[in-house]
Amino acid sequence: MEKKGKEISINVNPKKFSMSAHADLSCVECHIGYDPDEEPHTEVAKPVDCAACHDDNTKHMMRSAHAGELNCFSCHSNVHLPEPKDFAKNNCVSCHKDENKALMGSVHATIDERPECVTCHTPHTASTLGSEACLSCHTNAPEDISGRMAEFSLPETPGEFTNMIHGDDLECSDCHGAHNVLKVDTLASPVHPVNLAQTCNECHDDVVEEFMKSEHSVALEEGFETAPTCIFCHNEHQAITITGNGSKMSRQLEVETCLSCHLESEGVSERMTHTSSFIGGYKTSVHGRKFFEGDTTVAICSDCHGAHGALKAGDALSKVNKFNIAKTCGECHTEIAEVYNASVHGDALHEGLQDAPTCTDCHGEHNILEHTVANSPVAPGNVAVQVCGPCHNSVRLASKFGLPESNYSSYQDSYHGLAVRFGSTEVANCASCHGVHNILPSTDSLSTIHVSNLAETCGECHPGANANFTVGKVHVSATSGGDDILNWISSIYILIILITIGGMVVHNSLDLAKKVKEHYHDQYEKEITAHELAKRKKHYIRMTGNERIQHFILFTTFFMLVITGFMLKFPDAWWVVLLRQWGGEPIFTLRSLLHRIAAVGMVAVSLYHIGYLFATKRGFGLFKDMLPKLQDAKDLVLMMKYYLGFSKSRPAFDRFGYIEKAEY
């Protein structure tokens, strides 16, 4: 038969035709107008109209990308023969050579039941079926596929993926590619960890730009295997909005997600500059405790470090860089941040002074505790030593900024400082006078230590304090370079102590040595007569009952004052520390009470004794006999000669010798 000037065979193999898709049809059902009994069968050969039976497919074809380019016979070249299994592939490849080449290099080409073109593309519309086509295999995969897919968090049903945040907008091919789908661990794969950010960048360009500058991205570029990528935090196929409770980055689960690396991963810990205990301190902090109690409004990891752009603190753009911390904390603590920014510390930080303290220098970083917690650095008992001291007791900082060097030590040696060191939590500390966040120079009229505000400041603890109460220096030092009068008084006092105690030690040592020598001599070398022995055993009562009571009260109150005074003056002494550990703060209250009772007792007995001296005959006689005389100096010289062996006889004293007079 001739067609378009060419002779073509119209011979059909009945056997093969019987195996074709059209085996049930007669020839004339397709070749309309043909008469098998006539030669030729028709004068005018009409083209076969497939639409007579395949009207839907034809309509789809006419609206497809192939319309006008292809017809039915472009793919179904010989409908009289059975179609081979790979007919679609062979027909598609004749045009789509590049796509086929990509498919042959994909992971799909490595499996036995590999997908064909029409598995993903509808035959007549030539459109991509989308994620449903992928999930039809990947959620019910043949055995040789399912084993490889087990490590991925695939949705259990096609509908589950469509319910995810990407279900409405993305197809599988948007992330994995179309024909050249590669294994995840293949470096060229768009979902390989090093390429994930760029893949997500197609939609999330603003977020990815931020992530690419982060420490996480740096770790990824350096080849750190466990560095987090987008899917680590947001999941792979089951990504949901972070406002949903099931998201790993929801406020309910974010802390757990971050700590799973920063606290539980050995590899991450080795790269971190901070220890695991430092990181884990968040759990016991005021923020962490409230968070784990169910309060998700408190600060969590991303509030301080940022979400996608987490940077090291040394980076100027980091939210936890020293110069940015006040702003970061101010996102929650707005009013406090405003007060701090106007303070002397805030001003110094704004001027670029690295040494100026910011929020974390005082409160700590991860393990931030309330000021009411005993081991918090800002607890009343710790402020001076742990917060203010490291800067204000620093010789380097004092020299650099012209700060008074003795303020810290003078406070520590003051009653307030000693009381704090002993364990009091009510006595004034640095913040009680200077303020907490609102610390200003004393020359500023708004400062709590400005001369016009001192009475009010002191009145917080001392009700009724007025201008006279605040007269005089606060941070006074008895050392050279401090207050001259105090320095002289202190020096004279120390000199008197040295002379008194030193003199007593020397005198009593000589006396003890002499008595030991005499005792040995009397016991082993000298015979003592009965008369001398009776004389030695004779005693005289020198005090009346009244005088003995006075002496007892004086003795008792003196030692009470010494012990309770030493407890205040030397709070770090080992025996004082033991008492504090045993009794806690009540010991301080008891010490204070006993010290005052003893002081009142000593003053009272002293006043009574003065009255006794001048109001009674015996007392006045005691007073006169206690007055120093020239003979006392002579007796001292004679006694030294006796002690040192230059004189054999002990000098005879009056009623009271120089020893009793000195002690009195």
| pLDDT tens, residue by residue, 553-612 | 999 999 999 999 999 888 889 999 898 888 877 888 899 999 999 999 999 999 999 999
Q: Which among 48, 50, 22, 23 is positioned nearest to 33, based on CA atoms? A: 48
In angstroms, rounded to a whole number, what is the distance separating the alpha carbons of residues 476 and 165? 68
Q: What is the DSSP letter of 45?
A: P
Same domain membership, residue 522 and residue 403: no
Mapping DSSP to helix (H, G, I), strand (E, B) and coil, where does residue 505 land? helix
Distance CA 110, CA 104 (A): 8
Q: Which two tokens stand for residue 370?
A: 């309330």
Per-residue confidence band for 4, with pLDDT thresholds at 50, 70 and 90: low
Co-location of 65 and 167 in the same domain: no
Residue 618 pLDDT class (50, 70, 90 cuts): very high
Identify whether residues 276 and 150 lie together within a single domain.
yes
Long-range contacts of 607-616 (CB under 8 A, 24+ apart): 608/550, 609/550, 609/554, 612/546, 612/550
Residues 258 and 192 grouped into a single domain? yes
Q: CA Rg, the chain, in Å?
A: 50
- Residue type for 360, please? T
Q: Are residues 415 and 507 in the same domain?
A: no
Q: Between the CA of residue 96 and those of 24, 99, 178, what are the distances in Å?
A: 33, 5, 13
- 579: tokens are 């008492």
- Co-location of 508 and 462 in the same domain: no
What distance in Å separates the CA atoms of residue 75 and residue 116, rounded to the nearest whole number? 15
Q: Residue for token digits 């049809």?
A: 25
**331 against 6, higher pLDDT:** 331
Which secondary structure element, helix H or strand E, spans residue 577, and what is its range?
A: helix 574-583
Residues 6+ apart with CB under 8 A from 152: 184, 236, 237
Domain-embedded: residue 610: no
Q: What is the dihedral of CA 348, 349, 350, 352, to 10 degrees?
A: 100
* The pLDDT of residue 519: 77
Side-chain-side CA neighbours of residue 356 (13 Å): 20
**DSSP state letter for 157:** S
204 and 150 in a single domain? The answer is: yes
Angstrom distance (rounded) from CA 402 to CA 555: 49
Domain assignment present for residue 661? The answer is: no
Give the least confident one: 6-15, 65-74, 199-208, 341-350.
Answer: 6-15
- Does 293 share its domain with 192? yes
Cα distance between residue 545 and residue 377, in whole Å: 56
Q: How far is CA 181 from CA 73, 79, 198, 249, 446, in A?
A: 31, 33, 16, 28, 69
| Strands in 378-445 per DSSP E | none
**Cα 226–chain centre separation:** 23
Whether 227 is covered by a domain: the verdict is: yes
pLDDT band at 533 (very low <50, low <70, confident <90, very high): low
Residues 250 and 288 in one domain: yes
Euclidean distance between the first and the last CA atom of the chain, given in angstroms as a whole number: 152
- pLDDT tens for each residue of 114-124: 788 888 888 88
What span, in angstroms and rounded, lies between the C-alpha atoms of 513 and 644?
10
What is the rounded average pLDDT of the residues 608-622?
A: 94
Question: Given a cut of 90, is residue 68 above it in pLDDT?
Answer: no
Q: What is the mean pLDDT of residues 41-63?
A: 81
Q: How far apart are alpha carbons 274 and 435 in whole angstroms?
A: 31
pLDDT-based confidence at residue 382 (cuts at 50, 70, 90): very high
Please say which residue of 83, 109, 144 terminates a domain: 83
| pLDDT score, position 553 | 97
The answer to whether 407 and 475 are in contact (CB under 8 A) is yes
Neighbours of 419 (CB within 10 A): 21
Q: Quick one: 491 and 391 in the same domain?
A: no
The whole-angstrom separation of Cα 404 and Cα 298 is 39
Which two tokens mark 80? 């009289």
Domain assignment present for 254: yes
Count of structural domains, the chain: 4
CA dihedral of 208, 210, 212, 216, whole degrees rounded to 10: -110
Q: Does residue 53 belong to any structural domain of this protein?
A: yes
> pLDDT, tens digit, for every residue of 174-223?
899 888 899 888 889 999 888 989 999 999 999 999 999 999 999 999 98
Residue 133 has pLDDT above 90, yes or no: no
Of the three residues 467, 493, 527, the one that is the final residue of a domain is 527
Whole-number pLDDT of residue 38: 77
| pLDDT for res 145 | 53
Q: Which of 24-38, 367-381, 452-466, 594-608 has the least mean pLDDT? A: 24-38
Residues linked to residue 6 through DSSP beta bridges, in sequence order: 3
Q: Are residues 296 and 399 in the same domain?
A: no
pLDDT at residue 33 greater than cutoff 60: yes
pLDDT band at 353 (very low <50, low <70, confident <90, very high): very high
> Band of the pLDDT at 171, cuts 50, 70, 90?
confident
Q: Is the pLDDT of residue 642 over 70?
A: yes
Residue 153 has pLDDT above 60, yes or no: no
- Token pair, residue 273, equals 């500059």
Range of the domain at 445: 369-477
Give which of 86, 75, 80, 76 is closest to 22, Cα–Cα.
Answer: 80
User: Which range has the worst mean pLDDT, 74-78, 297-301, 459-463?
Assistant: 74-78
pTM of the shown model: 0.73
In eight-state DSSP terms, residue 583 is H
- Residue 387's Cβ-count burial label (10 Å; 0-12, 13-18, 19+) is buried
H-run or E-run covering 2: strand 2-3
d(CA 397, CA 448): 23
The tokens describing 426, both together, are: 């009510």
Q: Which residues pair with 7 in a beta bridge?
A: 2
Which residue from 586, 600, 599 is spatially nearest to 426, judged by alpha carbons?
586
In a domain, 211, yes or no: yes
Half-sphere exposure of 551 (CA within 13 A, CB side): 9
pLDDT of residue 46: 77
Mean pLDDT for the stretch of residues 539-558: 92
Taking CA atoms, 528 is separated from 514, 516, 561, 643, 652, in Å, by: 18, 17, 45, 22, 21
Q: Encoding tokens for residue 128?
A: 């991509």
CA dihedral sign of residues 606, 607, 613, 616: negative
Q: How far apart are CA 617 and CA 546, in angstroms?
A: 14
Q: Are residues 402 and 257 in the same domain?
A: no
- pLDDT given for residue 244 in this prediction: 74
**Burial category of 508 from C-beta neighbours within 10 Å (exposed 0-12, middle 13-18, buried 19 and up):** exposed
Contacts of 112 (CB under 8 A, 6+ apart): 142, 144
- Nearest by Cα to 361 from 393, 386, 397, 343: 386
pLDDT of residue 436: 95
- Domain for residue 287, yes or no? yes
Average pLDDT on 472-481 reads: 72
Q: What is the tens place of the pLDDT at every residue in 221-263?
A: 998 988 999 989 988 888 888 887 778 899 999 999 999 999 9
In whole angstroms, what is the distance from residue 36 CA to residue 29 CA?
12
Pairing mode, if any, of strands 2-3 and 6-7? antiparallel
Average pLDDT on 536-552 reads: 86
Q: Is pLDDT above 70 for 356?
A: yes
Is residue 95 domain-resident? no
Residue partners of 207: CB distance under 8 A and separation at least 6: 200, 308
